[in-house]
C-alpha cells in the first residue's frame, strides 16, 4: 500500500474544527496525506496551515447550508444556531451534505474517513466505499463513559426531586449529579433523543473512536471505555501539543486584541496573579448574570482578563466598574489568543465553561481552574477537573442551560476565584496540574502513550483490507 490518505469531515463549529485541523497536522507529520472537507466559513485556518508549510493537507469546499435546507443562509456554524427551533434545522441541514460528501469520497478515494460524531450518516458513506470510519467526539473519556451510563441506567428517574443527588452507576469513581445537570434529551424524549440514538448507532457500526486525550490523565476511563464498554479507541492527544509549528495566537479565529499588547500587559503582572475568564464560542449569558460576574471579579480584588462576546455592550457592567478596575482588569471582546494567555506565567487561574478544548488548554498550561459548566458534556468534564484530578473548584452552577441566567451570584464567583488563587489548597491544585502538564508533554513525545497509540492506529489502517467490491460507481 502506498501513502495512506485520511479524509476529515469536521462539524461546522470552531470547537470541533480546531482539534480536527490539529489532527490533520498530526497525521501529516507522520507522512500521511490528509484532506479536510470544509465550508467557506471555516476554510481560512486550513488555508493558513497550508501556507505555513502543511502543503500535504488538502482542502475541499462544500456549500453550507445546502440549498434545499430550511436553515437561513446566515447560519453557517453551530454557535449561530442558538434557538431551540434552529438546532434541529441545523442538524437536518448537516444530513443533506451526504450527497456532496459521497461525491468527494468517490473522487478522492481515501483510505479512511474521520468524521465528527454529529454526522452519523457518514458511517453509511464509508461503508458504501468500503473504507473504515473513525468517529471523533472531541470530548473526554470520562464524558464518553458517563453519557453511556446515563443513557443506559437513567439514574435520574430514581430521585424524587431536582435537588436530590444520584450516583452514576458502575463507573471508576462515585460521580454524583442532580437532575438539573442532565441534558434535556436524556431526561425526556424529544427530537435530539432520536438524533443522539442515531449518533450512538453510527458509533457502534464504526471502525473505532479517536480521542483527544492522553492515558495518564484519564487511565481509569480509557480502560473502562475500551474494556468494560467494549469500544475500540485510540487516545492521540492533547492534539494542541502535537504541532509545535502551530500559530498559538490565531488558533481558531483571528484574535480580537493585539496579542503583543495583551502579553505585554501580562508581563507587567506578578506570576500566578491574574485570573483568566473565558466561556468559549457558544456560551451566552444574560445581562444580569454578566453583571454578577463583573461584581464577583471586583470583589475578588485579583487582576483579571475577561473575554466577552463582541456583541456585548457595556450596559452589563456595574457603574464605575472600568474606572475602579483600571490597571488590574482587561476586557477582550470577541476571540482571544487563549493558548498564549494561559501559557503566560502571570496567569494563576482559569475560569472556564468546561468545554473539552479549554480543559486541555488549561491542563497543558499547568493552570488550575474554576469550573462553570452550562450544557453539552460540560458537567461531566467538571467532575474530572474537580473530583478526579482535583485541579479546580466549582463555582456552583447546577443548571443545564444554553443561555445562562443569574444562577451564580457575585459572592460565589469571588469565593471560587479566591480558593484557586490563594492558600494551601490553591498551591496543591497548582502543583497537581503542573504534574499533568508534564505528563501531557511526555504523552505526545516519541515513546509516549499518545505517540504509541497513534502509531498503532496507523499500523491498523495500513493493514486494513478494504471491502471495495460493493462500491457504488455512480452517485
How far is 374 from 64, CA to CA, in rounded Å?
Answer: 27
Distance between CA atoms of residues 292 and 413, nearest Å: 8
Sign of the C-alpha dihedral computed for residues 400, 403, 404 and 405 taken in this order? negative
Calpha distance 407→439 (Å, rounded): 36
Strands 166-167 and 176-177: antiparallel
For residues 212 and 369, give the distance between their C-alpha atoms in angstroms, rounded to a whole number.
19
Identified catalytic residue from 5, 14, 22, 116: 116
Lookup: cell for 139: 470530548
φ and ψ at 449, to 5 degrees? Answer: -60, -45
Could you report how far apart the first and last alpha carbons of the chain are, in Å?
26
Burial of 350 (0-12, 13-18, 19+ CB in 10 A): buried
From 142, 149, 108, 147, select the one nearest 125 (Cα to Cα): 108
Cell of 291: 453583571
Let me know if 353 is a catalytic residue.
Answer: no
Find all residues with CB under 8 Å of 454, minimum gap 6, and list them.
Answer: 26, 30, 234, 236
Any idea what DSSP says for residue 386?
I
Active site residue 219: no
CA–CA separation, 49 vs 24, rounded Å?
Answer: 10
Cell reading at 210: 479517536
Question: For residue 318, what is the DSSP state?
Answer: P
- Catalytic machinery residues: 16, 116
Amino acid at each position: 500500500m502506498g501513502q495512506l490518505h485520511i479524509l476529515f469531515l469536521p462539524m461546522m463549529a470552531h470547537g470541533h474544527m480546531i482539534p480536527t485541523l490539529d489532527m490533520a497536522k498530526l497525521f501529516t507529520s507522520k507522512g500521511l496525506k490528509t484532506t479536510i472537507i470544509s465550508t467557506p466559513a471555516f476554510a481560512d485556518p486550513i488555508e493558513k496551515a497550508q501556507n505555513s508549510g502543511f502543503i500535504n493537507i488538502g482542502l475541499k469546499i462544500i456549500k453550507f447550508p445546502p440549498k434545499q435546507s430550511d436553515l437561513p443562509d446566515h447560519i453557517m456554524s453551530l454557535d449561530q444556531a442558538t434557538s431551540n427551533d434552529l438546532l434541529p434545522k441545523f442538524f437536518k441541514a448537516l444530513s443533506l451534505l451526504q450527497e456532496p460528501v459521497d461525491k468527494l469520497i468517490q473522487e478522492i478515494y481515501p483510505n479512511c474517513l474521520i468524521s465528527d460524531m454529529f454526522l452519523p450518516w457518514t458511517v453509511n458513506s464509508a461503508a458504501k466505499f468500503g473504507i473504515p470510519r473513525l468517529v471523533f467526539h472531541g470530548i473526554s473519556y470520562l464524558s464518553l463513559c458517563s453519557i453511556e451510563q446515563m443513557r443506559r441506567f437513567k439514574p435520574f428517574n430514581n430521585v424524587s426531586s431536582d435537588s436530590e443527588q444520584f450516583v452514576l452507576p458502575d463507573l471508576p469513581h462515585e460521580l454524583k449529579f442532580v437532575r438539573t445537570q442532565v441534558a434535556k434529551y436524556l431526561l425526556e424524549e424529544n427530537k435530539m433523543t432520536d438524533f443522539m440514538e442515531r449518533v450512538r448507532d453510527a458509533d457502534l457500526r464504526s471502525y473505532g473512536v479517536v480521542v483527544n486525550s492522553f492515558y495518564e490523565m484519564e487511565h481509569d476511563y480509557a480502560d473502562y471505555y475500551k474494556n468494560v464498554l467494549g469500544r475500540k479507541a485510540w487516545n492521540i492527544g492533547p492534539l494542541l501539543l502535537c504541532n509545535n509549528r502551530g500559530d498559538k495566537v490565531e488558533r481558531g479565529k483571528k484574535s480580537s486584541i493585539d496579542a503583543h499588547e495583551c502579553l505585554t500587559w501580562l508581563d507587567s503582572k506578578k506570576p500566578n496573579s491574574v485570573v483568566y475568564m473565558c466561556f468559549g464560542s457558544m456560551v451566552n449569558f444574560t445581562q444580569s448574570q454578566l453583571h454578577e460576574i463583573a461584581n464577583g471579579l471586583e470583589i475578588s480584588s485579583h487582576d483579571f482578563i475577561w473575554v466577552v462576546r463582541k456583541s456585548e455592550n457595556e450596559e452589563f457592567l456595574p457603574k464605575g466598574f472600568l474606572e475602579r478596575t483600571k490597571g488590574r482588569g482587561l476586557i477582550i471582546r470577541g476571540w482571544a489568543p487563549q493558548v498564549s494567555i494561559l501559557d503566560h506565567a502571570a496567569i494563576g487561574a482559569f475560569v472556564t465553561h468546561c468545554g473539552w478544548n479549554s480543559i486541555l488548554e488549561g491542563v497543558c498550561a499547568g493552570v488550575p481552574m474554576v469550573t462553570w459548566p452550562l450544557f453539552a458534556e460540560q458537567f461531566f468534564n467538571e467532575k474530572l477537573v474537580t473530583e478526579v484530578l482535583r485541579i479546580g473548584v466549582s463555582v456552583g452552577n447546577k443548571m443545564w442551560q444554553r443561555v445562562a441566567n443569574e444562577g451564580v451570584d457575585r459572592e460565589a464567583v469571588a469565593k471560587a476565584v479566591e480558593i484557586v488563587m490563594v492558600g494551601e489548597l490553591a498551591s496543591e491544585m497548582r502543583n497537581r496540574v503542573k504534574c499533568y502538564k508534564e505528563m501531557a508533554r511526555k504523552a505526545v513525545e516519541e515513546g509516549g502513550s499518545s505517540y504509541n497509540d497513534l502509531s498503532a492506529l496507523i499500523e491498523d489502517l495500513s493493514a486494513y483490507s478494504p471491502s471495495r467490491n460493493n462500491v457504488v460507481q455512480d452517485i
